[in-house]
Amino acid sequence: MKALVYHGPGKRSWEDKPKPQIQAPTDAIVRITKTTICGTDLHILKGDVPSVKAGRILGHEGVGVVEEVGSAVSSFKARDRVLISCITSCGKCEACKKGMYSHCESGGWILGNTIDGTQAEYVRIPYADNSLYGVPKTVDEDALVMLSDILPTGFECGVLNGQVKPGDKVAIVGAGPVGLAALLTAQFYSPAELILIDLDENRLAVAKTFGATASHGKPVSLKLEKLWAHNITLTTRLVDTVTTPMLLKTVVAGKLPPKKLITHQFRLDELMKAYDTFGNAAKEKALKVLLTAG
Amino acid sequence: MKALVYHGPGKRSWEDKPKPQIQAPTDAIVRITKTTICGTDLHILKGDVPSVKAGRILGHEGVGVVEEVGSAVSSFKARDRVLISCITSCGKCEACKKGMYSHCESGGWILGNTIDGTQAEYVRIPYADNSLYGVPKTVDEDALVMLSDILPTGFECGVLNGQVKPGDKVAIVGAGPVGLAALLTAQFYSPAELILIDLDENRLAVAKTFGATASHGKPVSLKLEKLWAHNITLTTRLVDTVTTPMLLKTVVAGKLPPKKLITHQFRLDELMKAYDTFGNAAKEKALKVLLTAG
Amino acid sequence: MKALVYHGPGKRSWEDKPKPQIQAPTDAIVRITKTTICGTDLHILKGDVPSVKAGRILGHEGVGVVEEVGSAVSSFKARDRVLISCITSCGKCEACKKGMYSHCESGGWILGNTIDGTQAEYVRIPYADNSLYGVPKTVDEDALVMLSDILPTGFECGVLNGQVKPGDKVAIVGAGPVGLAALLTAQFYSPAELILIDLDENRLAVAKTFGATASHGKPVSLKLEKLWAHNITLTTRLVDTVTTPMLLKTVVAGKLPPKKLITHQFRLDELMKAYDTFGNAAKEKALKVLLTAG
Amino acid sequence: MKALVYHGPGKRSWEDKPKPQIQAPTDAIVRITKTTICGTDLHILKGDVPSVKAGRILGHEGVGVVEEVGSAVSSFKARDRVLISCITSCGKCEACKKGMYSHCESGGWILGNTIDGTQAEYVRIPYADNSLYGVPKTVDEDALVMLSDILPTGFECGVLNGQVKPGDKVAIVGAGPVGLAALLTAQFYSPAELILIDLDENRLAVAKTFGATASHGKPVSLKLEKLWAHNITLTTRLVDTVTTPMLLKTVVAGKLPPKKLITHQFRLDELMKAYDTFGNAAKEKALKVLLTAG
């Protein structure tokens, strides 16, 4: 099959690789129909992510069709349409039982990192029962790719940790895909004001079409020496994709328009070109680029 | 001044009463500009509320203009435009400190109940600092009257106690003003489905225009002998109006359209006629009737 | 092997049954070292639980030693000492992902109900990775049997749903094993008063030794027609045993003394006699009877 | 009357000052029976707190007896025994309604800061209804002084913000009075381990007698560059003393032993000497020093 392979800092190619095989009874093989590129993939290509070794197929987002399942997979079967989560969850370690899938003992973010990823014609998904989601037939596949990573990241790390409430005044620093995903999902809770802060004029303009009530284009510094007395909470976390079922429901109900994030469309075999575009996001005015198998 | 006075079961009149005076340093006198009639007022007129004695001026909702304040009132002064809460809060008892204003030791629901109410040209508001809310100039007064009681009741007792979340399926039994207020405020949280249940076809039709995704016109029974095993929570409470500041923000931000609840408009001195209309709500297709001082 | 078998209402026997075998790759076979009898087992024997058919081995509590595991079990291996949860969890259905194991699509309470249970020399545990818990070596096994069902039931359905807080006044109706488990675990949160209500004088006396600050021996009626205005919350739920890891930590740390619940000790092959004792709990002053394999 | 007066950095004296008078109808005058010195008072004396001007009577903790109340005070009367909160709350601004008394528009921490404080024979308490607490007769006054500031500070900023749960492993950095107050109140929630970290051997030894399960005497650095991926939450806040009613209940119920914090006893007129002792806390092995009026 064809796949986008990382060959060390600055080097990538679209090349032939062996089609993945079932390795464990909990695995599934998925034929990719749609995938995308994440800012993290660009970091990998810069050599910033040492866990990713040369020879690795990149990508941790996508939707597809189940090709084959291992003997212990019970929720999916061949020909099922599925959403691939960027986070792999075994469902049985202490972290998974708490809904902290990103800290799964044998999973977490491994796709396109420590195992081959989704920027390929096929991908092997470990712990398929807990790491894939059935896709409602009525939902547009383009929209669903945005649920693999970018929307749960903005929602979980931004909106849920920020405890957005009706009537609130919310500031989001950074109008890139994650910031815009936070902007879209913050609106679940009817805040009164949504202020986006970014240095890129184009992104601020986009933010307004996404529901921002105001945007701000100057640098902001966080004066912790004064803020401490104002009951500040700082939170950090990895995305767990534990809200994927909730997000799927909101997409089905028409409460969330994920397709707004897609600015460019390519064929899957144009992945090299898509990387060129996404790598020049500011110039190309790119948010998310969508790749569709032929 | 003129006021709507209860004279025992079935008896009410629009008559002269003495203008209220400051009695305690925490009192304010408010000139009523807008008021409305609550379902509770109809219960009082049927004789169902023994705490209400003959001679009482009815009404616990309204907006107005401050006429005079007691020496200990610091948040309001003469000529301030204010929203009157149906719940009086002293701000210093154990219940008030917990935000349970309805259980205030010397307040709670007393207006139009154990003290004279708002269906009059003037009303005395005890503990004015904690029982009135400043009214933003840009907001329509008609909308604000709906925040005295009906919207916080639907929101606090229904939506907050029901813990509505994005993607949820929500059922509301009863499409009267409280049910419709719950319907409007449930939408703060982006549920996927909002099912209204009522026997009145007109109210179900109204509910659809308020955002209900489905409505149901047959009686429903609650089979507790089966439901117990499904992690059921039943909650009961009185409205505290503790969410009034939040609701005000959502009205200002255009996230909440309270005026939808108003079906009939009268002059304040038409209160007797307004009662006739509201008392035949089904026939008159009345939800909330609005009274405006001349 | 020997097992306690239900033969229809009122009929039970200690008899030979085939030793259970691995049926699915996620199964484990456990040799029982300790088990107990639940009030639910008495209900089954009365014929009150129609899902339990004649021929069923009863029992859903116990600790033991893993004898054999299926090919997909990764957290346990032969000779591991384990606590058996009364609730079987697949770890991958929607309910399990929410921590509502009692509503697991293919699990929930099935042991000693729809599949053979723990009152036997061996038991088959489906979804072993998610339904067994590793047992710390330093902890007394007698104490651990109380964590299979009775302690999480009192804790989850009583204490957590009741939201017990420091300084609270708590009333528990019923001083049987579940009520006493609630009494023990309520003390995690330092309430000021713990009032037990029961008609059995002996149980009230026991409750005092378990930390009750007051006990009450007269019937109590719930006046809902008055209580509704006092912000009442009624909750119902099944035990999920989702707090088993937390409870294990508190037992290890010496914060929870589960052995207090054990009033009678028997050999495993004395199960018929143990049922006689437990079936006359009031007369025998029995709370929990413990069975130990020879 | 006599009072401890700040006269600029490094300068304090025990001197004659006019007895405070009622200035507003919501004031009370309290005769101090017990007070103490806070670490903040030492900061003031170093000149670190610019809001405190020369001539100010210091102190924001204490218990006493009401001498006189303003006309609008309704919860207290002369001769009532009261606990003084270090935080003054008007009870009617937006912050107070949310329970954030430290951000009260006209209150917050003002005692011994912008108005005269409690290290004196008498003190004026603004907004007495919301800033004093009735003292149960059965409770030792020495214990109660610890509830003015130190215990709510450790509890609210440490234990509540830290969301301590049964079975948790808790680390507390700093075994001074605030750290020890967190140590005492963390035990409300039955954590499994309580690790204190301090460089002072004596304080670590004290911590063990207060319930610490382990103590650690080496510097600890917070590696945020690695911790960010571990779902870290950092919170900062001022104490609101909103938990004072809860803490009072736990003291009455014998669940909290505040007197453990008191290491030294003085007469009120020995305040200068008490400052000498408290200012050399390490050498004097001082935690809290208690001052009692003669």
- Non-local (6+) Cβ contacts of B153 within 8 A are B178, B181, B239
The structure tokens 């399926």 sit at B169
Residues C122, C125, C129, C130, CA torsion sign: negative
**Rounded to whole angstroms, how far apart are CA atoms D291 and D62?**
9
Tell me which amino acid residue B177 is.
P
- Cross-chain Cβ contact C253/D189 below 8 Å: no
Q: How far out from the chain centre does Cα B186 lie?
A: 17
Q: Who contacts D61 (Cβ-Cβ below 8 Å, separation ≥6)? A: D35, D36, D38, D84, D86, D118, D145, D148, D149, D150
Query: Given the structure tokens 């109380």, which residue do they identify?
Result: C146
R_g (Cα) of chain C, nearest Å: 19
Please list every residue in chain A whose beta carbon sits closer than 8 Å to the beta carbon of residue D230. 103, 236
What pLDDT score was predicted for residue A217? 83
pLDDT at position B183 over 90: yes
Residue type, B100: M
d(CA B162, CA C233): 11
Average pLDDT over residues B253-261: 93
* Euclidean distance between CA atoms B237 and C228, whole angstroms: 6
Rounded to 5 degrees, what are φ and ψ at D154?
Answer: -65, -35
Here the tokens at position D204 are 């670590």
pLDDT at D225: 81
The low-confidence residues of chain C, meaning pLDDT below 50, are none
Residue D273, pLDDT score: 98
- Walk along chain D (294 residues) and give the pLDDT tens digit of each residue: 999 999 999 999 999 999 999 999 999 999 999 999 999 999 999 999 999 999 999 999 999 999 999 999 999 999 999 999 999 999 999 999 999 999 999 999 999 999 999 999 999 999 999 999 999 888 999 999 999 999 999 999 999 999 999 999 999 999 999 999 999 999 999 999 999 999 999 999 999 999 999 998 887 787 888 888 888 899 999 999 999 999 999 999 999 999 999 999 999 999 999 999 999 999 999 999 999 998
State pLDDT tens for residues A271-294: 999 999 999 999 999 999 999 998
How close, in Å, is residue A74 to chain C by CA atoms? 9
For residues A147, A149, A152 and A157, what is the CA-based torsion angle, rounded to 10 degrees? -170
Residue A286 near residue A277, CB atoms below 8 Å: yes
Q: What is the residue type of A207?
A: A
Taking the C-alpha atoms of residue C42 and residue A37, their distance in angstroms, rounded to an integer, is 60
Residues of A in contact with D237 (CB under 8 A): 231-232
- Residue B11, pLDDT > 90, answer yes
Measured between alpha carbons, how far is D2 from D111 in angstroms, rounded to an integer? 17
What is the pLDDT at residue C217?
A: 83
- How far apart CA D283 and CA D235 sit, in angstroms, is 32
From the list B192, B193, B249, which residue is nearest A192 (CB)? B249
Q: Is B218 helix (H, G, I), strand (E, B) or coil?
A: coil
Distances (CA, A) of B117 to B30, B44, B53: 11, 13, 13
How many Cα atoms are found within 13 Å in the side-chain-facing hemisphere of B161? Answer: 23
ipTM of the complex in this document: 0.93
pLDDT at A230 over 90: no
pLDDT at A220 exceeding the cut of 80: no
**Is A255 in Cβ contact with B190 (below 8 Å)?**
yes
pLDDT band at A66 (very low <50, low <70, confident <90, very high): very high
Output the CA–CA distances (angstroms, integers) from residue C207 to C144, C160, C218, in the order listed.
Answer: 21, 20, 15
Taking the C-alpha atoms of residue C263 and residue C277, their distance in angstroms, rounded to an integer, is 10
The pair of structure tokens assigned to C41 is 């087992």
B190 vs A contacts (CB less than 8 Å): 187-189, 250, 253, 255
Query: Looking at the DSSP assignment, which residues form a beta bridge with residue B214?
Result: B195
**Chains in contact with chain B (at least 3 beta-carbon pairs closer than 8 A):** A, C, D
Domains of chain D with CATH codes: 2-150+238-292 (3.90.180.10), 162-230 (3.40.50.720)
Instruction: Using the Cα atoms of residue A145, residue A146, residue A150 and residue A156 in order, give the sign of their dihedral.
Output: negative
Are D97 and B245 a contacting pair at CB < 8 A? yes
Helix (H, G, I), strand (E, B) or coil at C226: helix
DSSP B256: -
Q: Which of B231, B233, B238, B242 is the best mutation test for C, with the most CBs of C within 10 A?
A: B231
| Gap from D53 CA to chain C (nearest CA, Å) | 39
| Pairwise CB contact (< 8 Å): A96 & C96 | no
Residue B136 has pLDDT above 90, yes or no: no
- Residues B159-165: what's their mean pLDDT? 97
**Predicted TM-score (pTM) of this structure:** 0.95
pLDDT tens, residue by residue, A160-184: 999 999 999 999 999 999 999 999 9
pLDDT in tens, A21-35: 999 999 999 999 999
Confidence of residue B187 (pLDDT cuts 50, 70, 90): very high
A214 strand-pairing partners: A195
Mean pLDDT of chain B: 95
pLDDT at B219: 79
